[in-house]
Structure 1
Amino acid sequence: LRRVKSYIKVPTKEVEEQLENFCKLCTYVSGQYDQDESFQNLNRHLEEIERGQHDQNRVFY
C-alpha cells in the first residue's frame, strides 16, 4: 500500500486524511487461489474483520 500511496496526489489535508482512513480499511491476503486452503484462509480473514458489522463492502483484485 505504501508504494501505491506514493502515486496518489493529495491536494488538501482533508483529502490526505480521507486517504489515510481508507488505507486503514484495506487488507491483503496472499494465497494460491487454485487451492481450497487459500480460499478458506481468505474466508477466515473476511469473517474476522467483518465480525459485528452490519454492512460489508469488498473489492477483490
Structure 2
Amino acid sequence: MGLIEAELLTDSGSDTVVRLPPRRFPGVLIRATRCRSSVAEIVEACRLRRAYRTGGMSVCLPV
C-alpha cells in the first residue's frame, strides 16, 4: 500500500468526486455511514412496496 495524489473535483462534505491518476474518468467517494443509511432506506422502501402489492398496506405514506 502506498500514497498517491488524487485530483479533488468537488468540495462537498459526504460525497466527493475525485480522479485518480492515470484514470481518465472520475469516481465518487461516499462515506460508509451515508452508504449504510442509503441501503437501509432502499431496503425499507422495498419492504413497503412488497407490503402494498400483497395487500398488507392500503395507504400512501408521505415522502
Same fold (TM over 0.5): no
TM-score by length of 2: 0.30
Bigger Rg, structure 1 or 2: 2
Whose helix proportion is higher, 1 or 2?
Answer: 1
Higher strand share: 2
User: Scaled by the length of structure 1, what TM-score is found?
Assistant: 0.31
